[in-house]
Amino acid sequence: MRGLLELPRPIKRLIPPQIKRSARSAVLSYMFRQAMRDVAKLAPGEMPSRELLKKLRMGWDNQGWDAKLDYMEEILRRALETKGPVLECGSGLTTLLLGQLAGRRGVETWSLEHNAEWHGRVSSALARHRVQGVHLCFAPLRDYQEFNWYDPPLAEMPARFSLVICDGPPDLANGGRYGLLPVLGDRLAPGTVILFDDVREPGQPEVLRRWETERGVNVELRETEEVSFALVTCP
Ligand SMILES: C[S@@+](CC[C@H](N)C(=O)[O-])C[C@H]1O[C@@H](n2cnc3c(N)ncnc32)[C@H](O)[C@@H]1O
């Protein structure tokens, strides 16, 4: 199946673009279905291999937006261990994998998504791959005066979260990800870790500094060759 992506160039040039796009999409969907099946077959507590994560990212086909491998591995390692609910800000492939690894241990994931179209795509994928234990909430961005952030369904959400994946909202203007602690900080148990992506993007270091000063969080930077993220621990 994958061979279709690897045809010699002169032959590829003869294929009309529409057919090429459909073939590529069919191959990637097939690859993704197979990879999701492999995830479902993992033993309880077993981490997906790096090869499997690469296949999942390729099949999901959202390059430039999905979590990099080192960040994803950190998320999944913690999803396998966390005792309480997971909060995710910004949905995507990670939402499906949180469901597969934490959801089947009986640990719920609450994922906030502000973009209606993207919410639709992730929602269909959750249903198609029968992922359990995920509440994907459509939460448009709201003006909180000092910043813009998601408008989450607070009354329905758990009183305490034990792990947070902070990978949204993608627009870092108007406070960016700052709103997480003012809006939901009182639901984060002491010791809860926030996995905060894109630390080098404009505005992000300021968010971390403000959280340190105003909320007393501890920030530890993780820099790898492919990604920079922060482990933010709540007091
Ligand atoms: C960095 S993405 C979150 C990705 C997710 N944590 C993952 O690794 O799969 C953050 C937000 O970007 C937006 N987004 C994701 N893919 C997009 C796309 N292809 N085009 C436009 N917005 C997108 C969604 O609103 C999403 O909540």
Collect all residues with Cβ–Cβ distance below 8 Å to 91 and sequence separation of at least 6: 111, 112, 113, 118, 119, 122, 136, 168
pLDDT digits (tens, 9 = 90+) for 43-53: 999 999 999 99
Residue 72 Cα to ligand 1 midpoint, Å, equals: 14
Predicted confidence at residue 14, as pLDDT, reads 79
Is 32 in contact with 93 (CB distance < 8 Å)? no
Residue 53: CB within 6 Å of ligand 1?
Answer: no
Residue 170 Cα to ligand 1 midpoint, Å, equals: 7
Q: Report the domain count for the chain.
A: 1
Is 189 in contact with 161 (CB distance < 8 Å)? yes
pLDDT > 60? residue 71: yes
| In the block, residue with structure tokens 């032959």 | 11
Domain region containing 89: 2-233
% pLDDT > 70, the chain? 97
| In the block, residue with structure tokens 């502000």 | 114
pLDDT digits (tens, 9 = 90+) for 13-26: 777 778 778 888 89
Residue 47's domain is classified under what CATH number?
A: 3.40.50.150
Residue 62: CB within 6 Å of ligand 1?
Answer: yes
Predicted confidence at residue 13, as pLDDT, reads 77
Collect all residues with Cβ–Cβ distance below 8 Å to 132 and sequence separation of at least 6: 99, 103, 104
What strands, in cross-sheet order, belong to the sheet with 228-233? 134-138, 109-113, 86-89, 161-166, 188-196, 228-233, 218-223
In this prediction the pTM is 0.93
Predicted confidence at residue 114, as pLDDT, reads 97
Q: Whose C-alpha lies nearest to ligand 1, atom 25? A: 115
pLDDT digits (tens, 9 = 90+) for 143-201: 999 999 999 999 999 999 999 999 999 988 899 999 999 999 999 999 999 999 999 99
Of 75, 91, 95, 114, the one to substitute when testing ligand 1's pocket (max ligand atoms within 8 A of C-beta) is 91
